[in-house]
Amino acid sequence: MSRSPTPTAERHTEMRDETAGGAGAPADAWLRSNAGGGSVALRAAVALGLCGGVLLIVQAWLLARVVAGAVFHRLGPTVLAPELYGLLAVFAARAAVTALTQWAAFRAAATVKHGLRMRLLERLRTLGPLRLTGEHRGELANTLADGVEALEGYYARFLPQMALAVLVPAAILAVVYAQDWISGTVLLVTGPAIPFFMILIGKGAESLNRRQWRRLARLSAHFLDALQGLTTLKLFDASRREAEMVARLSEEYRRSTMAVLRIAFLSSLALEFLAVVSIALVAVLVGFRLLWGDLHFETGFLVLLLAPEFYLPLRTLGTHYHARMEAIGAAERIAAILETPVAPPVHTAPARRAPAPVAVHELRLERVRCRYDDGPWVLDDVSLTLKRGERIALVGPTGAGKSTLLHLLLGFLQPTEGRVSIDGTALEDLDPDEWRRAIAWVPQRPRLFHGTVRDNIRLADPGADAARVEAAARDAFADEFIRALPRGYDTLVGEGGRGLSGGETQRLALARAFLKDAPLVLMDEATASLDAHSEERIGRALQRLSAGRAVLTVAHRLATVREADRILVLDRGRIVESGTHRALAARDGLYRALLTAGLEGV
Amino acid sequence: MKTLLRLLSLYRPAWRWMAAGTLVALVVVLANVALMGVAGWFLAAMAAAGIAGATMNYFTPAAAIRAFAILRTGGRYLERLITHEATLRFLARLRVWFYTRIEPAAPAVLQPYRGGDLLSRIRADIDALDNFYLRTLQPAVVAAVGSVLACAFLALYDGRIAAIDLLLLALAGLGVPLLTGYLGRRPGARIVHTGAALRTAIVDTVAGMSELSVYGALPRQTERVGRLSRALIADQERMSRIAGLGAAGTMLAAQLAVWSTFVLGAGLLRAGALSGPQLPMLVLVAMASFEAVSDLPAGFQYLGHTLAAARRIFELADAPPAIADPPGPSPHPVDAGLELRGVRLRMEPSGPWVLDGIDLQIAAGRHLAVVGPSGAGKSTLAALLLRLREYQEGGVRLGGHDLRAYRAADARRLFGALTQDTHLFNTTIRENLRLAAPEADEAALRAALRAAAVEEEIMALPEGLDTYVGEGGLRLSGGQARRVALARVLLRSAPILLLDEPTEGLDMNTAAAVLDGVLEHARERTLILITHRLAGLARFDEIAVLEGGRILERGRHETLMARGGRYRRLHEVFSARPDAGG
């Protein structure tokens, strides 16, 4: 089956393009609406952060008091002891609140992260394996692993800081206003100018930034491209040329980036300037009123202490901006997966679900037609009966519908028309998980899961003991190579583990099937040619596996079809021929054409 | 430490920029210290003058406040520009350095990195290295010098205040990060480990969904992902708590510095050793001095990452070249013939033989097909001839001379080679083709595409030859990408054509057309075709069946079919369309 609907990939690029132009607002909204699970912790983080802000004000007030007392009333530490101990207590409280704020914010992010990851996984399950084909498997896995992680900064830092950037300056402003309305006015006027400038310059800077980001990505991609193509470059005697290219591009990148940065940094210059100059302004204005006797030193000093803290939360928010950008990128990918429509419905959930038969005596397809969405018929009017103890081989050119037929039987796909039944019960009336319990499946390229050889064999039954696992391996002729592995049945395979050859992997998958001991065997023979040794073993193992079971094999090898009780020749979704090898080979039909094409070449 | 020094040496060409950037950063920090100090003094002095009804020169301090404010803001801007300049200069150099270092050892050294994921890790590692200056080196220097200067100022008034401040600065900048680094070591290592396990479990779930469903293992696998996700988060939480404690500790150190400065200062004031306005000045200087160490905790964190990345990068960069070139110039080949005698090759010193005694003669101008199952050693044979892999035993002669007498690049010049992992670069089709022949004109490019049976399809694209092929050629179909790569090889005027699976992924008709084009193109040249497709092999002078690193059978198609051996068995398959019409 080469047709695979890929709505995920399409939606993905769509969303990307949309946000490349806009400001990521839909993703922002999505992120907020998904804070659900972590909202309690999130509120706690904001409350604690506000608490920290209040403590900060108290600390500044106490400090101003003691300094004023010491400078203008020559009070010593003993007289000021209550305030000094009070300060120590505030220090301790602030430290505790700081640690707790971070922890609460992390909890918020953690809850969201775990929840989303599990929702994504559930989503992939309902989408079913047919939608998870091809190259975006890697992308999906990235989204579940790294994409979800990328949200942490948003929930743990950006979102709480968003609230604090409003609340803490407001609290400080209230205090400063109450003490000295002139300074308060300076803060009030310059304060909102910061977010205003941030938005104004930020808009321009954001697009500049994004362009720059893309340019960096391109440079980085070019470097990766050169590394990946290093062999090709060597073969074309072009590796030196490429080194010069890398140098030239990097140099160009430096020039263009610096040109952009000179402008882009002006925005932070403006912000910094605003904050620093208004602190200086407050200091000077306060100073003159102190000189004129309009203000107490204590008040003036408090205002001076609070002025920098007024701007700090806003500037901290700026440093978390990158976390937001990163999260938005990831959110788009996550939302795309969660919003992929599930079609066609894999499970129609009928009122009653019959338990699957323990033994499959007769599998029957009656006038089955199948297609994906509104595409052409992939299976067209297929009828067949497979009985227990019978072995059917399916042959046909690429794209004839062989894999679709297997997917249908595996329950990954439902017939658009017609009926599939097992011992008289319609397949759609069976619980798919129950039904699959009756199937042993050997795919074309079996997946080795991360774990030991033993765990891979007992995929169907994790409780199987060593004797059963080894018996299954012996039946599949896998025991011999497994014992030769450095750690035998405990050798780690799969991602990051030891690689097995195609023939070995096939035999391991056959051992899986033996251990499962299911009445129906579905096998998709490997198209890549295996070494003679493996091929012969696999043939014998399959013969063994067939005994007393119903077997349907998508066959690619003459040896396999020779063994079959019946051969079905599929072409463009239809069964065009059926019979034994001998009968079909004698007839001038597609079967013979396929056979001679193999034997004689074109 | 060695890694650190080596990393520093890579930075050497940009050192002037780096030094300038650090100096300006220092000025920015000190300007703030001065701003706060002067402002504190100014306020108290003005208030004192106001109470006393005295006059005072307020022009100088007010001007100083403005000056320091401007110095700080402008300095910050300059600092950003200069440090980025330094980093970008370093980045440019680093990439070229790494590329030229790794080139002689490729592809063997990158073999474990075949997957795109791991190559991306190299990229991430390289990116991590250019963080070193910005995140670690510069903050460290600024912290050290800034702290000392601020404390030196405090020491002008009182040694004890300066000593305590310095101590607390060290605690905030060194003690706390070292402690959190120590505490975070184990959860940190577990996070890396669990993160990798989680990713593997997720990849397994996505890629193995159908088998997991059929074998009823999906709930178990989902549970496993959930468990790993929770374990990862639990360790991240531990890390986050440690980080929170670190932040609290740093903050506490700064507050204690302010507090002790005040307590000691108040004593000095009463003793008359300090004037009134000097007390708020010292308190605020102590407070502002902590900005000097504020970037250090993050710097320590980055240092760990950076060093790990640097170690991996250096390890790759130090890989010995795959092939040692002879000292002298290469001999001139007399013809385009090849001869292998008893050649054995293995990937690792004690590994299994991948080629295990190969004997082959290919006279100039002859056409040989090498067939066999996957894993037989076919592609390794190609790598050997192309001097990408060194063989351990036996002899190879190319053009009448020992293969090892040639410099590897000179030997490769005799080949037009299509390997299995051949790469289409992320640029236009035209640029990809020109890699083989930079001066080729449009007609030549199109002729090559025609020979590869892809001209019509490419010219039918809206942008024709100027179509971007995308990352790894992904914007073309697999079959198109393969044929464009073949066209690129055919453009190269080399006496020997070595094609590894040129028809991979093509349907029968296209494959036949490609074979026609190749045979036509190779009429005057030596051709070695490696394939597992058996169609059309009757047109070759000789066929060699390779399996398990040995040649099992050799001969013409008819001879081998008649013999009924392995070659014939390979033919007994059903997989493709029988005829043109279907």
Q: Do the beta carbons of residue B103 and residue B317 sit within 8 Å? A: no
Amino acid letter for position A511? A
Interface test with A, best of B51, B55, B168, B210 (most A CBs within 10 A): B210
A552 and A446 together in one domain: yes
Query: Which tokens in the block code for residue A469?
Result: 């696992």
Beta sheet of A566-571, edge-to-edge order: A439-442, A520-524, A550-554, A391-395, A566-571, A574-579
Query: CA-CA distance, A246 to A405, in Å (whole number)?
Result: 50
Is the minimum CB–CB distance between A586 and chain B shorter than 8 Å? no
Please count the other Cβ atoms lying within 10 Å of the Cβ belonging to residue B59: 8
By C-alpha distance, which of A316, A343, A291 is closest to A158? Answer: A316
What's the pLDDT score for residue A262? Answer: 80
Whether chain B has a CB inside 8 Å of the CB on A103: the answer is yes
Q: How far is B571 from chain A (nearest CA, A)?
A: 5
Nearest CA in chain B to A259: B81
Is residue A355 one of the residues assigned to a domain? Answer: no
Instruction: Identify the CATH number of the domain in which residue A454 sits.
Output: 3.40.50.300
Distance CA B43, CA B277 (A): 8
Contact (Cβ atoms closer than 8 angstroms) between residue B422 and residue B485: yes
pLDDT single digits (tens) A317-360: 877 877 787 788 888 888 888 887 765 544 444 545 666 666 78
CB contact under 8 A, B534 and A598: yes
Report long-range pairs for A78-87 (Cβ below 8 Å, ≥24 apart): A80/B266, A84/B259, A84/B262, A84/B263, A86/A62, A87/A59, A87/A62, A87/A63, A87/B255, A87/B259
Unique residue bearing structure tokens 């929840």: A115
Q: Do B119 and A103 touch (CB under 8 A)?
A: no
Q: Of A71, A229, A273, which is closest to B279 when you measure between CB atoms?
A: A71
Could you tell me which chain B residue has the CA closest to the CA of A438?
B214
Q: How far is A156 from chain B (nearest CA, A)?
A: 10
The answer for residues whose C-beta is within 8 angstroms of residue A220's C-beta and 6 or more apart is: B123, B127
What pLDDT is stored for residue B127 in this prediction? 77
- Residue A346 domain-assigned (yes or no): no
- B92, B252, B277: residue with CB nearest A254: B92
Q: Give the tens place of pLDDT for each residue, A263-293.
A: 777 777 887 888 888 888 898 899 999 999 8
Q: Is the pLDDT of residue A13 over 50?
A: no
> What string of H, E and C letters represents the secondary structure of B189-220?
HHHHHHHHHHHHHHHHHHHCHHHHHHCCCHHH
| Residue A32 covered by a domain | yes
Q: B543: which strand partners?
A: B369, B555
Q: A512 Cβ partners below 8 Å, 6+ apart?
A: A440, A442, A446, A456, A457, A458, A459, A460, A472, B215
A228 closest CB neighbour out of B73, B80, B472: B472
Q: Is residue A524 part of a domain?
A: yes
Whether residue B114 lies within 8 A of chain A, CB to CB, comes out as: no
Is A219 or B567 the better-scoring residue by pLDDT?
B567
B259 vs A contacts (CB less than 8 Å): 84, 87-88, 91
Chain B contact present for A134, CB below 8 A = no
Residues A184 and A253 in one domain: yes
DSSP letter (8 states) at residue B324: P
> Do A305 and A370 share a domain, yes or no?
no
**Domain annotation covers residue A582:** yes
- HSE on the CB side for B111, CA within 13 Å? 12
| Domain encompassing residue A64 | 7-338
- The pLDDT, as a whole number, for residue A216 is 67
Angle at CA B541, nearest 5°, toward B537 and B411?
Answer: 105
CB contact under 8 A, B578 and A236: no
Q: Is A594 on the interface with B (CB under 8 A)?
A: yes
Whether A440 and A308 share a structural domain: no
- Cβ <8 Å between A528 and B532: yes
Q: By the 8 A CB rule, do B507 and B479 touch?
A: yes
Measure in Å the smallest separation between the Cα of A230 and chain B Cα atoms.
Answer: 7
Q: Which residue of B has its CA nearest to A409?
A: B214
Q: Is some CB atom of chain A closer than 8 A to the CB atom of B249?
A: yes
For A402-440, what is each residue's pLDDT tens digit?
888 999 999 888 899 999 999 988 888 888 888 888 999
Residue B493 structure tokens: 């005027």
Report CB contact under 8 Å: B573, A98.
Answer: no
Q: Does B283 touch chain A (CB under 8 A)?
A: yes
For residue B126, the chain A residues in CB contact (below 8 A) are 223
Contacts of A440 in chain B (CB under 8 A): 214
Residue A6, pLDDT score: 32
CB contact under 8 A, A529 and B248: no
**In 10 A of CB A14, how many CB atoms?**
12
Report the distance separating Cα A459 and Cα A442, nearest Å.
13
Same domain, A293 and A403: no
Which member of A67, A436, A450 has the closest CB to residue B280?
A: A67
**Token output for B52:** 């006393």
- Contacts with B84 from chain A: Cβ below 8 Å: 257-258, 261
C-beta atoms of B280 and A301 within 8 A: yes
CA–CA distance, A471 with A517 (Å, rounded to integer) = 12
Each residue's pLDDT expressed in tens, for chain B with a length of 582 residues: 788 888 888 888 888 999 999 999 999 999 999 999 999 999 999 999 999 888 888 889 999 999 999 999 999 999 989 998 998 888 888 888 888 888 888 777 776 554 555 666 777 788 788 778 888 899 999 999 999 999 999 999 999 999 999 999 999 999 999 999 899 888 888 988 898 889 889 989 988 888 999 998 999 999 999 999 999 999 999 999 999 999 999 999 999 999 999 999 999 999 999 999 999 999 999 999 999 998 888 888 888 888 888 888 898 888 888 788 888 889 999 999 999 999 999 988 888 899 999 999 999 999 999 998 877 888 899 999 999 889 999 999 999 999 999 999 899 999 999 998 888 888 899 999 999 988 899 999 999 999 999 999 999 999 999 998 887 777 788 888 999 999 999 999 899 999 999 988 787 788 889 999 999 999 989 999 998 778 889 999 999 999 989 999 999 999 999 998 888 888 877 644 444 333
Amino acid sitting at position A565: D
CB B297 within 8 A of CB B245: no
How confident is residue A441, by pLDDT bands cut at 50, 70 and 90? Answer: very high
Chain B residue with Cα closest to A590: B578
Query: Could you give the 3-state DSSP secondary structure of residue A339?
Result: coil
In sequence order, what DSSP letters do the residues of A470-539 get, joined into one string?
Answer: HHHHHHTT-HHHHHHSTTGGG-EESTTSB---HHHHHHHHHHHHHHHT-SEEEEE--SSPPPHHHHHHHH
Strands (E), A176-324: none
User: What's the total number of domains in chain A?
Assistant: 2
Domain boundary among A338, A353, A385: A338
Q: Find the CB nearest A76 among B65, B266, B574.
A: B266
Mean pLDDT of chain A, nearest integer: 84
- Tokens 């051709």 correspond to B527
A319: CB partners within 8 A, 6+ apart: none
Query: Is residue A475 located within the same domain as residue A522?
Result: yes
pLDDT beyond 80 at A103: yes
Residue A213 has phi, psi (to 5 degrees) of -60, -45
What residues of B are in contact with residue A156 (Cβ under 8 Å)?
A: 240
For strand B338-345 and strand B393-398, is the pairing parallel, antiparallel, or unpaired?
A: antiparallel
- Cβ contact (<8 Å) for B229 and A118? yes
CB contact under 8 A, B280 and A246: no
Q: Give me the CATH number covering residue A204.
A: 1.20.1560.10
State whether A231 and B388 contact (CB < 8 Å).
yes
Q: What is the mean pLDDT of residues A563-569?
A: 91
- Contact between B13 and A258 (Cβ < 8 Å): no
The set of residues, in sequence order, having a beta carbon less than 8 Å from that of A256 and lying 6+ positions away, is A215
Question: Within 13 Å, how many C-alpha atoms sit on residue B453's CB side?
Answer: 19
- Residue pair A77/B279 in contact by the 8 Å Cβ criterion: no
Task: Enumerate residues 547 to 566 of chain B having a beta carbon within 8 A of any beta carbon in chain A.
Answer: 547-548, 557, 561, 566
**A226 interaction partners in chain B (CB closer than 8 Å):** 99, 425
Distance CA A290, CA A64 (A): 15
Contact between A109 and A334 (Cβ < 8 Å) = no
Same domain, A332 and A368: no
8 A C-beta contact, residue A581 and residue A600: no
CA distance B148 to chain A (A): 24
* Strands annotated E in B302-440: 338-345, 355-362, 367-371, 393-398, 401-402, 415-418
pLDDT at A1: 34
Report the residue of A130, A157, A231 to disrupt the B interface, i.e. the one with the largest count of B CBs within 10 Å.
Answer: A231
A154 inside 8 A of chain B by CB? no
Residues of A in contact with B63 (CB under 8 A): none
Opening angle at CA A121, ends A118 and A124, nearest 5: 155
Q: What is the pLDDT of residue A212?
A: 64
**Confidence band of A476 (pLDDT split at 50, 70, 90):** very high
Are A300 and A369 part of one and the same domain? no
- For residue A556, being part of any structural domain is answered with yes
Alpha helices in B216-324 (DSSP H): 218-270, 278-289, 296-317
d(CA A69, CA B90): 54
**One domain, residues A168 and A84:** yes
Distance (Å) from the alpha carbon of A98 to chain B's nearest alpha carbon: 6
Q: What is the pLDDT of residue A453?
A: 94
Dist CA A511 CA A515 (whole Å) = 6
Nearest residue of A to residue B196 by CA position?
A: A145
Please check whether residues A244 and A390 belong to one and the same domain. Answer: no
H helix or E strand, kind and range, residue B546: strand B542-547
Q: How far does the CA of residue B413 sit from the closest CA of chain A (Å)?
A: 7
Report chain A residues whose CB lies below 8 A from the CB of B129: none
Bridge-based pairing of strands A520-524 and A362-370 is unpaired
Q: Does A177 touch chain B (CB under 8 A)?
A: no
Q: Kindly list the residues from chain A whose CB atom is less than 8 angstroms away from the CB atom of residue B243.
A: 102
C-beta of residue A494 within 8 angstroms of C-beta of residue A451: yes
Mode of pairing for the β-strands spanning B367-371 and B542-547: parallel
Name the CA dihedral angle for B252, B255, B259, B262, rounded to a multiple of 10 degrees.
Answer: 160
All structural domains of chain B, each given as residue ranges with its CATH number in brackets, are 2-109+116-317 (1.20.1560.10), 338-571 (3.40.50.300)
Average pLDDT over residues A364-376: 88
Neighbouring residues of A291: CB distance < 8 A, sequence distance ≥ 6 = B46, B47, B49, B50, B56, B58
**Does A243 share its domain with A202?**
yes
Q: What are phi and psi of A556, to 5 degrees?
A: -125, -5
Between CA A578 and CA B121 the distance in angstroms is 53
Which residues make Cβ contacts (< 8 Å) with residue A173, sequence separation at least 6?
A: A184, A187, A188, A191, A310
Interface size, chain A vs chain B, as Cβ–Cβ contacts under 8 Å: 459
> Which value does ipTM take for this structure?
0.84
Q: Do B116 and A228 touch (CB under 8 A)?
A: yes
Mutation for B interface: A59, A136, A227, A320, most B CBs within 10 A: A227
The encoded tokens of residue A245 equal 């290219």
Q: In the predicted model, what is the mean pLDDT of residues A247-258?
A: 83
Tokens of B564: 């009924």
Residue A51 lies in a domain: yes
Is A79 touching B (CB cutoff 8 A)? no
Which residues in A lie closer than 8 A to residue B547 (C-beta atoms)? 531-532
Same domain, yes or no, for A441 and A580?
A: yes
Inter-chain touch B47–A110, beta carbons under 8 Å: no
Residue A343 lies in a domain: no
- Report d(CA A462, CA A129) in Å as an integer: 22
- CA dist B335 and B365 (Å) reads 9
